[in-house]
């Protein structure tokens, strides 16, 4: 094995099965530009494409992924095919090497301009647990839950890059012991481990996207932490749903994994009963075998399985557009909290501690119900790639700062 940075160990992070896109800068060159993670390196995609005379150079040579997202699926496929050749065919090694930087030396940024943001509620295990906790006197799943993927519109302007500190939100809450609301810093600050999707190809108002057209519109997949203030949320959410309890910050992972990297990760979703309406039925499986891990201050606290989500991202896109609402390049939608049937598969502290009644004991001897100032939460994920390889999603991380 030579010392070429193009030779990477078979089990290295970000091997040839992933080739995720991100936006980076370096200390010596603060311009933001498009990069592709490969092992311990990042390829400067714009400069490599220019040097290779690639026909798509213009769409990858900008300050972020916006132009690539807008370019559409034929171009996405062309870029990925070229990248695979450049990075894995030894004949290209000498040409590619000058466009690599050490991954440890880059600063990562928000990868694209976020347009609209929708968050769904698609895990049956999560929705059942939350229903039991928030509405103990009612059926945990509302009558609509198995007929449509429930969602709400979030706040796109507060989607932040992984690593951004999260200031504890302040607001109104009504403790059960009080008759009127009190004001102050949230005391039940939580995470939600989710998977995010970004739209590339837009639609016009009036147009619908069918379940089977998902891959023509969605460019890629990343990790998302929907920071949630449970005390603000519990007081404000009736009857219009989440508002300030979730709008203060949402963190996303910096590397966008293209949908085409996930062919080997596609699985049948759980059986749906009742059968959904025809516009929510597709001919291909779009369950995805992503295995998430949630760490609190470095300690593994949950391993949520994305393959068990009741509604798929393809169904969510079809539902989001069935009324003729248009899509814009950069629209983000999130799966909803990913939880499985086991306690150690729950994707938020609300469930993991059963609303604070069953504190988590961390290996350092401390206990947690909800997040404390200084706590750091990191979500990672992998998925199976072709031929026993692994697709790596990197991580989304954030630390809690005291309220202002
Ligand atoms: O059931 C409720 O009242 C609220 C549930 C949520 O917390 C909404 C949400 O963000 C959905 C999710 O992440 O699954
Ligand atoms: Ca959420
Ligand atoms: Mg949020």
- Other Cβ atoms less than 10 A from the Cβ of 51: the count is 15
Supply the angle between the helices 73-88 and 45-52 in degrees, to the nearest 10.
Answer: 80
pLDDT at 40 over 60: yes
Q: What is the pLDDT of residues 159-204, one digit of tens each?
A: 999 999 999 999 999 999 999 999 999 999 999 999 999 999 999 9
**What separation in Å is there between the alpha carbon of 170 and the centre of ligand 3?**
14
Q: What is the pLDDT of residues 324-358, one digit of tens each?
A: 999 999 999 999 999 999 999 999 999 999 999 99
pLDDT at 378 over 70: yes
Q: What is the pLDDT of residues 108-159, one digit of tens each?
A: 999 999 999 999 999 999 999 999 999 999 999 999 999 999 999 999 999 9
Q: Of 357, 208, 391, which is closest to residue 289 (Cα–Cα)?
A: 391
CB-CB contact of 77 with 258 (8 Å): no
Residues 6+ apart with CB under 8 A from 87: 6, 16, 19, 36, 38, 43, 96
pLDDT at 1 over 90: no
Residue-level pLDDT at 7: 83
The bound ligand whose nearest atom lies closest to the alpha carbon of 398 is 3
242 lines ligand 1 (CB under 6 A): yes
Report how many domains make up the chain: 2
Tell whether 122 and 90 lie within a shared domain: no
- State how far the Cα of 88 lies from the Cα of 16, in Å rounded to an integer: 7
Tell whether 95 and 206 lie within a shared domain: no
Q: State the CATH number of the domain containing residue 397.
A: 3.90.850.10
Q: How many helices (H) and strands (E) does the chain have?
A: 11, 26
pLDDT at 218 over 80: yes
**What separation in Å is there between the alpha carbon of 161 and the centre of ligand 3?**
13
Could you report the predicted ipTM of this complex, rounded to two decimals?
A: 0.92
| Nearest ligand 1 atom to alpha carbon 241 | 3
Which residues are found with C-beta within 5 Å of the ion, ligand 3?
226, 246, 250
For the chain, what is the mean pLDDT?
97
> Cα–chain-centroid distance for residue 255?
10
Tell whether 156 and 194 lie within a shared domain: yes
Q: State the CATH number of the domain containing residue 26.
A: 2.30.30.230
Q: Of 298, 318, 303, which is closest to residue 377 (Cα–Cα)?
A: 298
Q: Which of 52, 74, 109 is the last residue of a domain?
A: 109
pLDDT band at 4, cuts 50/70/90? low
Tell whether 72 and 29 lie within a shared domain: yes
| Nearest ligand 1 atom to alpha carbon 151 | 11
67 sits in which H/E element:
helix 66-71
- State how far the Cα of 393 lies from the Cα of 175, in Å rounded to an integer: 38
For residue 258, tell me if it sits in a domain.
yes
Q: Which of helix, strand or coil describes residue 168?
A: coil
Supply the range of the domain harboring residue 72. 21-109
- Residue 356 backbone zone (phi > 0: left; psi -120 to 50: alpha; other: beta): left
């Amino acid at each position: 094995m030579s010392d070429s940075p193009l030779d990477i160990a078979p089990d290295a992070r970000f091997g040839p099965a992933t080739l995720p896109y991100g936006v980076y800068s370096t200390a010596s060159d603060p311009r933001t530009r498009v990069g592709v993670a490969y092992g311990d390196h990042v390829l400067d995609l714009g400069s490599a494409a220019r040097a290779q005379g690639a026909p798509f150079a213009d769409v990858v040579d900008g300050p972020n992924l916006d132009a690539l997202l807008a370019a559409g699926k034929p171009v996405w496929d062309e870029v990925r095919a070229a990248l695979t050749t450049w990075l894995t065919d030894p004949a290209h090694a000498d040409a590619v090497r000058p466009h690599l930087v050490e991954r440890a030396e880059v600063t990562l940024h928000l990868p694209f301009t976020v347009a609209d943001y929708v968050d769904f509620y698609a895990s049956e295990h999560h929705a059942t647990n939350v229903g039991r906790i928030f509405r103990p006197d009612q059926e945990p799943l509302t009558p609509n839950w198995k007929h449509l993927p429930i969602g709400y519109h979030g706040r796109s302007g507060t989607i932040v890059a992984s690593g951004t500190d999260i200031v504890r939100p302040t607001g109104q809450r009504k403790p059960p012991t009080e008759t009127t609301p009190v004001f102050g810093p949230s005391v039940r600050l939580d995470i939600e481990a989710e998977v995010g999707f970004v739209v590339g190809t837009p639609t016009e108002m009036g147009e619908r996207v069918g379940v089977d057209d998902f891959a023509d519109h969605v460019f890629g997949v990343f990790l998302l932490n929907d920071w949630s203030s449970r005390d603000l949320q519990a007081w404000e959410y009736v009857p219009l749903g989440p508002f300030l309890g979730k709008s203060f910050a949402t963190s996303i992972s910096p590397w966008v994994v293209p949908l085409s990297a996930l062919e080997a990760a596609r699985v049948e979703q759980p059986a749906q009963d009742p059968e959904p309406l025809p516009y929510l039925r597709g001919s291909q499986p779009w369950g995805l075998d992503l295995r998430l891990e949630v760490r609190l201050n470095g300690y593994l606290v949950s391993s949520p399985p994305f393959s068990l989500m009741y509604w798929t991202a393809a169904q969510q896109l079809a539902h989001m557009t069935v009324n003729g609402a248009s899509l814009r390049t950069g629209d983000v939608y999130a799966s909803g909290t990913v939880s499985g049937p086991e306690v150690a598969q729950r994707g938020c502290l609300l469930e993991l501690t059963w609303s604070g009644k069953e504190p988590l004991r961390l290996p350092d001897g401390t206990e947690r119900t909800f997040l404390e100032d200084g706590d750091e939460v990191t979500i990672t994920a992998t998925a199976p790639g072709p031929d026993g390889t692994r697709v790596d999603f990197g991580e989304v991380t954030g630390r809690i700062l005291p309220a202002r």
